[in-house]
Structure 1
């Protein structure tokens, strides 16, 4: 039975609350209050006209954009008769960025389309149960009551805990509600599901994330730090700015994020030489760069080797810097360097208790560059060698190398280059070129990591307590290869699938003896909240359908998947129980953030009542807690609003410059503060957090792992030599990379890029967005002409894993031989027939790249190498 939408008016007239007495030392502050329609004097958005008439509304409340772009922009929500009639932006403060300026934190166009999300035909109206006897993915559901749904969930949980223990429960990765505090969906360990499960004994946790899998674990092999870099605004002091695969014009495009800041840098530093190294001429390159250097995907480490070979042979590098701060570069000190870099505790990977794992040949970077020692026969890594691999002319490689030596040069890598099958080496190589050219610790320089964006944060909690110390499950799994725990959990240990020990504080560690950290149970129950990962952001949707439909047996197969979401996403369609959640505009919460010199905290007030039978996530989990006999412990007697007051109280105790009472805090809504701090500069530390305390060009950790780990995952991954763990960040022919023999049948390298119309898959159901920029396969003019493809032709892109249909965008903004499909489009199979479900021949008509990508994990991080794909293209 189909239910119709209804919304009860929630009219809450609030008077403007003056803010006074809050000028803390060194801080300038402002507060922005909800307003009334008829007597508002200062709200410019209310004066905007539609059809020549002033906007007629009952209430304006503050809310925010909770999706995972990094900004979490505050939004003004205007409602009339219980219906949201307009979404507007923060227009309080100054229309510029700088010290002691309260910056406007304006949302991008995505955030302004939220009415189309609130009133969308994909809204889930009532609890749903998968029809008995149907497969996950068929999409056949029946309506049930909330009581039935909660009872079924709790009963199944008790059965699974009795059979398998808490190790069988998993909270799926999901960032669709990243911005909330009580309502947040990420990090999973900070959600209300984590609070519930920890009170009930715990659950299987995950490490790292889909955004930064390889940066998180591979970049620290070089420098002990995955994150530190100079603030964006410090780029005003840069002579040169090199962006490797970094496209904030699409990923962080709001008026309070990286793209806005780097645009300001361009205005303040017009002489800066901004270069984008990317297979795709991105919107960022078009908007701010002087130069685009197209590069074949997954070959950044070959580019770096070619640059360093040139600089080294021309004596342009600082030898003293390298000998003082680096290990593993020079041949004459190689064996001493190896001993310095030996891990000494389980805080590092690849512990060698036997002391027998030692290289028998020179594996220094100098030997690699010369093609000697262990690299005999591989040839010198000259710019000409690099040109043949990268597609970048040798003279351009030399020119780029000289630019790195023209200090200060800032190096920033986006998170695309590390999302390759060899992405761990990519990220280490990019960090290496920044460090070895002497640009770390300089104003205007940088480390080669992702940019920092500054801000002046309020010390208000961003999550409620979740009791990790009560979690009895002491192992954790990679965010990406959790699926193997459904297929065959007994194959999973530290040496096959990267299982790690995790303590009560969430700190992971490694095995003293390889192969001894093991999973103890299969995943039998999955909480899926605010997440379209399984049928969207993960990989190989067809194989995921097969995995999710494995029979529920003793050692494999999942028994229950529960999804909570406002919208019927593709992932919801593989769930057993679907519960309608609320949008951020139907509940109270807190968001916070900041950028440049401005920080903010915003207490959100529901603009409308929950639609249909939707409930806030806190209320949903409270109902489940009640069935498990944990309601009092879970709620501590607090409502959701009480928890927001708790956050306010905690912030006040920590010195937050906020009103004297919670009531004033709530009635005012948005608070911003600024100061005159200098943009931070990531230092060159005396001691890096590596075993040697220096930059480890040769990583003994990686060398040990190459001898200890089974990269076939106990026989589940082909032993084809296309996965390697290398002590140096070197180029090798990797899985579905440029040098994979499969390229003779699937000639194009396929990557994905973030799209302005979506944040991952969020906003994928907004018609306005898809009209502005439809889902298309970006292909070079040269390749399109060779295939007889013209602009807007319908094409089918195929890999060995599946087929997806969309139109072609024929452009000079793609490197020939490379095509790109914007990630995050909603999976839309031509058929959901049970007989063909999960078959690679089933055509996806949604243009979803995850039908085409591989779930083969990367060698060290066990992460997502989903930008390494070989494909073919044909007209439909």
Structure 2
């Protein structure tokens, strides 16, 4: 975060002193126990008083973050203090203790959720409005009151809108800390978007960092992002291919492992296609196929060739449900254009996409490509789970579109045990409780999320395709936004978007405009690395401190009541309170929050409940819930029992319901893309082929740039954080170190041993971490998990190990973020790693690993 010296503070108590104190205390305690006189009676708890369960009030609530689901938490509190957290035990829907069935599984929280007390009561908890008083990024703030904070922010907003126009303020909201049906931070249907849109000054961010390439693929191919099965469908698979998917860390549903374990017990085989051998591969005894990063589309093309070459495809399925798979399924209006089969067999470019061709690109043996292709085509039903991570690459949409083509050509779509995902959104939840009307997504410019810094640094000399400008069809169409301010709501985006050094440079340019000519507001419950760079820090109540309902995240069919468990700490307010009060000050309060009066800022409870009751009535009407609102509040969770496993596109395959595409079919040849004539007038900016193709990325292990930067870095999601959330939790830090994973042969060549400190660098930045040497990562690849809190030294080196100092913000046309398109170099370092927390609280995980 802020620069600091590496030397030990001579005033601070030293670690050896602390150890001596602990040794002395231990000896004294042991002597007392042995000698007897004066010894106290032993108790069950480590300290007292410690309230027992019968002294505590039990309240059902949930997790709040996009970690793969939102599970149940049970808060055990005494007065207004949460003493401990537990999770689902099967009883809360009125069942017997321990109920955990295939149709109604428990929604058990993971370690992240179970550790939430430490986030709630964290030293980094933001409790009061703060105003910057130091240099930008220095981290110096003073406490101010809400009246001053909101008055100054509102005044600055009016000035920037009047001076620089309706695109001056950027909405960088995300679902990091505020996601519920009422208190919602979200790029599209969020509270900030509604607020800035009604104010008349909003540049929105249209691309989702986690899976934009995948979203594009699903919409082009299936017409929807609801292309996922509920996880119970996995229990019926005979083969599961985890393509870039590590469900031990990033599951996409509340009970992924529960159902995959069922599949394993029923004889399902597992395959992992990934540059590293993951814990999921170990858990399921999967066949590991190491693959060079960013080459997945090439390997899938090689599989498609072999499936066709051996006549293993499902021609009947193709003829009935697919557009553009071969000449016979091309639309009449597309005469002379290339089908997918034409491309695979090289009839247009003269290059058949054989397994041998693919092997040269992706580093997987041709025989292994053939073997996997035959396994997938001949095993029924089989699930090719094309996860998001390989789509977080340059041209990542082509990987997802290629996977969809292979799924379709084998007939594994719309059948129980098969898989079409993709994005993977499954059962449909009623997602919005607050007013969702014509003001909910008003914007005056919409840019690709990670291009804001490029726009600021180069304004006004920016082409619309560089910005990823969404077309408007009015006078503002194509107008580059004059960005002067950012609202960070529920997002740590400065820490999480690509090319952080470029972002910092852009923020410094905003600062150079002078006093009052820019505005950076961070709204969060925690002081984050992003907040360090803000003008104002606004303390936002956690989900324990406001009334809401939790939604499952992409999968899971349940709702969890989320009451106000404790009163807001310090002077925390909900996002809805803050925006409502600002809206009143700016003249549109009654329109923004129609159920509220001017006193909502201090008395929100009745209004919040009124919105939630209306929402529950919609749930009752649309989804057949047979509980009233009071029963739901008392029970805390409503688990839907589906009549059969939810399988995406089952109705299309079994009943002939059209797909939501222009042709009504699965579009391997995209009607939309094929008919675009001027790509610069689209949000994509650059041409995208109408069929899936292998497109070489700008950096990879087959690039000439490997002469200078010979390693390809990937930055997957860790199990101990949700992006950057939970990075500061000591319990979780006892389970890991932020470290660079490297293959043993690479380490030996560089003279690097397990636990050494290494530098990873390229022409965009440099980071410092310990190294973990292993055979579980393929040669030429290094792994550094995303989300570490940046910690810059005086030379601009990130000592914490955030990989986004090395990532590139170049626009991949369909919007995919190129987090995993990174070449770098690695060497042993004399610099110190700074993990952002007391070293004594940081686990030495490498101690328990073999030193290679």
Which bracket does the TM-score occupy, shorter chain normalised?
0.7 to 0.9
Aligned mates of 2:120, 2:109 — CA distance in 1 = 17
Matched, 1:615 2:573: yes
326 and 105 in structure 1: CA distance in 2 versus 1, 3 angstrom threshold = closer
Q: Which has the higher helix share?
A: 2
Q: Could you say which residue in structure 2 is the equivalent of 1:423?
A: 396
Alpha-carbon displacement from aligned partner over 1:776-829 (angstroms, at most 9, x marks no partner)? 111112222222221111111112211111111112211111111111111111
| Correspondence 1:547 to 2:520 | no
- The corresponding residue for 2:835 is none
Cα distance in structure 2, aligned partners of 1:596 and 1:219:
16
Corresponding residue number in structure 1 for 2:344 = 369
Find the counterpart in structure 1 of residue 14 from structure 2: none
* Structure 1 position 90 matched with structure 2 position 49: no
**Equivalent residues of 2:293, 2:390 under 8 A apart:** yes
Query: Counterpart of 2:587?
Result: 629
Query: 3-state DSSP class of the match of 1:871?
Result: strand
- Say what the alpha-carbon RMSD is for the aligned residues: 3.4
Call closer, same or farther: CA 1:109–1:445 in 2, change over 3 Å: same
Among 733, 756, 761, which residue is 1:793 paired with? 756
TM-score by length of 2: 0.82
Counterpart selection for 2:478 from 518, 537, 550: 518
> Given the alignment, which residue of 512, 532, 537 partners 2:492?
532
Aligned equivalents of 1:598, 1:216: Cα separation in 2: 21
Q: Offset at 1:732?
A: 3.1
> Greater CA deviation, 628-637 or 484-493?
484-493
Aligned 8 A contact 2:58 2:77 in 1: yes
Contact 1:98/1:596 (8 A) holds in 2: no
In the other structure, the counterpart of 1:477 is 447
Partner of 1:55: 52
Distance 1:605 1:409, change over 3 A: same
Distance, in Å, in 2 between the alignment partners of 1:697 and 1:253 is: 25
Alignment of 1:242-641 (within 5 A): 242-252=241-251, 256-267=254-265, 269=266, 271-323=267-319, 325-330=321-326, 337=330, 340=333, 363-373=338-348, 375-376=349-350, 379-406=351-378, 407-451=380-424, 454=427, 462-469=432-439, 473=443, 475-488=445-458, 490=460, 495-501=465-471, 517-519=477-479, 521-534=481-494, 536-551=495-510, 559-593=518-552, 599-607=558-566, 609-635=567-593, 636-637=596-597, 639-641=603-605
1:68/1:759 contact within 8 Å kept:
yes
Equivalent residue number for residue 4 of structure 1 = none
SS of 2:783 mapped into structure 1: strand
**TM-aligned CA distance change 1:490 to 1:445, over 3 Å:** same
Matches of 1:109 and 1:477 in 2, distance apart? 36
**Structure 1 residue corresponding to 2:766, chosen from 800, 803, 824:** 803
For residues 526-567 of structure 1, give each alpha carbon's deviation from its aligned partner in whole angstroms, at most 9, with x where no partner exists: 211121012x22011111000112147999x97101011121
The alpha-carbon deviation at position 424 of structure 1 amounts to 1.2
Give the whole-Å Cα distance in 1 for the aligned partners of 2:625 and 2:632. 11
- Structure 2 CA distance, aligned partners of 1:595 and 1:862? 20
Q: Partners of 1:614 and 1:470 in 2: how far apart?
A: 25
Equivalent residue, structure 1, for 2:187: 188
Quick check: 1:73–1:107 contact (8 Å CA) kept in 2? yes
Q: Is the 8 A contact 1:232 1:452 kept in 2?
A: no
The CA distance in 1 between the partners of 2:331 and 2:168, in whole Å, is 41
Structure 1 residues without counterparts, runs of 5 or longer: 1-46, 342-357, 503-510, 715-722, 832-840
TM-score, reference length from structure 1: 0.80
- TM-fit CA distance, 1:305: 1.5
Q: What displacement does 1:740 show?
A: 2.1
CA distance in 2, matches of 1:106, 1:726: 43
| Structure-2 residue corresponding to 1:506 | none
Residues 1:875 and 2:820 aligned together: no
Contact persistence 2:252–2:553 (CA under 8 A):
no
Of 229-238 and 491-500, the range deviating more from structure 2: 491-500
Q: Which residue of 2 aligns with 1:224?
A: 223
Equivalent position of 2:138 in the other structure: 138
2:121 aligned partner = 119
**1:715-756 C-alpha deviation (Å, 9 max, x unpaired):** xxxxxxxx8733432223211123221111111111011111
In the alignment, is the contact (CA less than 8 A) between 1:97 and 1:596 conserved in 2? no
Partner of 1:846: 800
Conserved 8 A contact 1:597-1:676: no
Partner residue, 1:205 = 204
In the alignment, the residues of structure 2 paired with residue 846 and residue 321 of structure 1 have an alpha-carbon distance, to the nearest angstrom, of 51
Q: Would the aligned equivalents of 1:99 and 1:675 in 2 still touch at CA under 8 Å?
A: no
- 1:654-673 Cα deviation digits (max 9, x unpaired): 526476565x654x261323
Count of equivalent residues: 764
Decide whether aligned partners of structure 1 residues 193 and 277 sit closer, same or farther in structure 2, where only a CA change above 3 A counts. same
CA–CA separation in structure 2 for the residues paired with 1:648 and 1:63? 17
Q: How has the CA–CA distance of structure 1 residues 104 and 200 changed in structure 2, closer, same or farther, with 3 Å as cutoff?
A: same
